Structure 1
């Protein structure tokens, strides 16, 4: 009999998992709280282990068409003068030119299109209850009728409903890393298509990333956790961003006007997931629901790679799902754990806490071209 799977979340991880589980003969249903997709969200990388996955899905041509032409990151001062530069090839992985950088919304849309004809989608709905039985999971929804599935996968992000219902309160497992980030789309060009611009003051950073004729602005700032923070309260989010960046130089005032006017602001905490395990019986977690990672866009690559691994393991022994989930977690933690440990380093580079830290970072960027050259020579000599 065909096994049934419910995936909570139609994002990058959920759509990839839906595709590969359907490809392996599962009957897949995806439930998504949103009624449509966001247009905001900074560009993210598809690299390393995710490359083979998206190529096998046949999505790489569309990803390349949507990819950015960015090759460098420039740090600017109050007047817009470039004071430091990073060649982004220094961060290129082993896949080299096969890697792509794509706006998060475009990546999610392309992966969703690949899976759309292979799964049932319940839009504008969410899970309200999960009850495990010996032969399945009874699922209640906010709108749809109660149904039973063989397995349930939570691919529903940092604020996962599945994780809360099965493992416990978010506060038990998710640690705020002292940084909030907001992104907003700018529907027009902003500077060169080849460079990311970043403006820093102590504990704050504003970046503008070009992408196919328009740009995406990000506001990153150090801030202690907001008591009772509600990730759906857009007015609170706007207020926090405006308070953090009022009286800033460069082109920040005009970018704040975009924040005031938008109805599609992404805002959330940079957080670290610390779950002892990612599965309980017939229910497992994927992507940010299981492990939240880095400021450098690796979360998308890891979600894609994790989805493929999970589908592979569950398909190999569907009647021994607990062993399959353990193998998935063991394999995928090898990729995830080093990224979790690198959050502080990423924050120190992007959002130095002091003037001295900004100066040190700017000085350090001059070393990176030399390091890149050395790495290149080593690769060619190997």
Structure 2
């Protein structure tokens, strides 16, 4: 085998999951991460379908269930906090808007790190700054000044992957970053008794949404989302955090409901993060001895509900193919052949998303609430399944001998 040492960029979810499966197959993984430690920020993520099946094969499902947020479902509310539609975590077989296995991204990342650190080299507070490939190895230069060689490099450092861009950035049409017309700010605010164990979703006119979600820690995870043209999204993302907060104050001024509370807490939130939702489309997921994994290669956007499941499934398949092919080209090609149809299904967002869930007028919001109430009726389930249930169960995991 020509790929015994693998450098993985990114210690979020996809990277440590890959390290786990590489180790199971007898391959050595080194994980480099820009942050000084496992990142503590982030919102709630879920595991569905193939992603949950991978967690089960890792023996982690019970542990993950013990660390869930305890979220019981989601309530769509109006300005007066009156409930207009409800979906429990068991709706649509536990695969609806809120899945049965909801966990904070930070908790999932930490659990994967704890599972893999006994046999994985982690390089925190560092990153790849240069890559040069030969037929035999990849020479890597790190920000800290060290130079090392590896058999393979895997970019698993998110949709804005700097590692991916070092390799694919100079190739024509290699990376297509597609904004979906939505910007969201995420942060943690103090919890209040009225927050409870249900997520709440509030639509304000003008294509604005405020969500509050329990996190199982006594605090509440808040998100402020708004529709805007893709180029406007990009400009907001490039602002410094203080300017981003000022923008959100202007956009959400007099939005009603609990927005004033959320905006006030946002100003001092230590984990504030603003992001424009994008999809990543790549005609090929590898170039020489470098490949992409998870959001770095096939981000479906947070609107898909599939990011974590794609990361788990992608890590499982990539490691399995590397272990069962003598040459990396064969492994990369086979991984893409197996996984790409699943990733492409995840990227096919329902018609009108995100606009359909974020009406600009009061009449549109009332129509949305009526549609959501109807979604619980048996006759409506099949018609609305595409809007409310991600295609997480549309992939059968291959079996790889260990």
TM-score normalized by the length of structure 2? 0.85
Check conservation: 1:295, 1:343, Cα contact below 8 A: no
- Whole-Å separation in 2 of the counterparts to 1:101 and 1:56: 18
Cross-structure match for 1:286: 293
Measure how far apart 1:77 and its partner are. Answer: 1.5
**Residues 26-69 of structure 1: CA deviation (Å, up to 9, x unaligned):** 11110100113443322111121112222232322321121133
Cross-structure match for 2:307: 299
- Whole-Å separation in 1 of the counterparts to 2:342 and 2:351: 17
Check conservation: 2:375, 2:381, Cα contact below 8 A: no
Q: Secondary structure at the match of 1:261?
A: coil
- Whole-Å separation in 2 of the counterparts to 1:210 and 1:23: 35
Number of equivalenced pairs: 373
Measure how far apart 1:325 and its partner are. Answer: 0.8
**Residues 76-122 of structure 1: CA deviation (Å, up to 9, x unaligned):** 12222222323443344679x99511111111111121111121111
Q: Secondary structure at the match of 1:118?
A: coil
TM-score normalized by the length of structure 1? 0.90
Alignment RMSD (CA, Å): 2.6
- Whole-Å separation in 2 of the counterparts to 1:360 and 1:24: 52
**Residues 284-305 of structure 1: CA deviation (Å, up to 9, x unaligned):** 0011101122425320111111
Match of 1:221 among 223, 226, 239: 226
**Residues 268-293 of structure 1: CA deviation (Å, up to 9, x unaligned):** 11001121111111110011101122
Q: Are 2:206 and 1:206 equivalent residues in the alignment?
A: no
Change (3 A) 1:106 1:187: farther
Measure how far apart 1:346 and its partner are. Answer: 4.5
Cross-structure match for 1:191: 194
Match of 2:320 among 263, 288, 312: 312
**Residues 226-280 of structure 1: CA deviation (Å, up to 9, x unaligned):** 4556568323332332222122211111111121101211221100112111111
Q: Are 2:277 and 1:270 equivalent residues in the alignment?
A: yes
- Whole-Å separation in 1 of the counterparts to 2:320 and 2:76: 42
- Whole-Å separation in 2 of the counterparts to 1:25 and 1:370: 50
- Whole-Å separation in 2 of the counterparts to 1:232 and 1:183: 15
Cross-structure match for 2:155: 154
- Whole-Å separation in 1 of the counterparts to 2:381 and 2:228: 37
- Whole-Å separation in 2 of the counterparts to 1:220 and 1:239: 14
- Whole-Å separation in 2 of the counterparts to 1:282 and 1:147: 15
Cross-structure match for 2:60: 59
Deviates more, 1:223-232 or 1:282-291: 223-232
Measure how far apart 1:74 and its partner are. Answer: 1.3
Q: Secondary structure at the match of 1:326?
A: helix
Check conservation: 2:304, 2:346, Cα contact below 8 A: no
- Whole-Å separation in 1 of the counterparts to 2:340 and 2:58: 23
Change (3 A) 1:91 1:111: farther
Q: Are 2:109 and 1:80 equivalent residues in the alignment?
A: no
